[in-house]
Amino acid sequence: MPEFGNKFEQDHSDFAQLESIVQAAGGYVQPTVDLRPKTLEAARTACRQRRTNIRLGSLAVFVLFLAATGVPEFFFSSNLGPAFVQSSDLHHRATRSAVKGNVGTNWALYEVFSEFRREQAELLHHAD
């Protein structure tokens, strides 16, 4: 706004004397002596508080992340893991049981399945 500013300065040149009087009073008021230490201490405290809040926030996010990812993983791996047994494993166990106990393959498979269902029932019982 240079044109506007120049016009303003011209229009108000009659205030020059008054402006100089007001200008001279600019240094009359000073900040009180205790304002500096009070302000700097308040600023330091605010910064410390902010850092603490940021750390607590990060910790909370980390804990939430662990809770969101780690806990289901723990349950799936420990409690429900045995429920997902491969059928080939069961057949393998049945074969070993048949050889060891000198029984038929069908009977051995029946025993292995019975044992597997009992294990599952126990796990579910513990989970409750």
62-92 burial code (b ≥16 CB/10 A, e <16): eeeeeeeeeeeeeeeeeeeeeeeeeeeeeee
Measured from the CB atom, the residue of 14 and 128 that comes closer to another protein is 14
The interface region with another protein, picked from 24-32, 59-67, 75-83, 93-101 by CB under 8 A, is 24-32
Query: Can you tell me the distance from the alpha carbon of 46 to that of 93, in angstroms, rounded to the nearest whole number?
Result: 67
Q: Which two tokens stand for residue 41?
A: 């201490």
Segment contacting another protein by CB under 8 A, of 40-48, 60-68, 97-105, 118-126: 40-48
Among 10, 17, 86, 87, binds another protein (CB under 8 A): 17
Judged by CB under 8 A, the residue of 10, 13, 24, 57 near another protein is 24
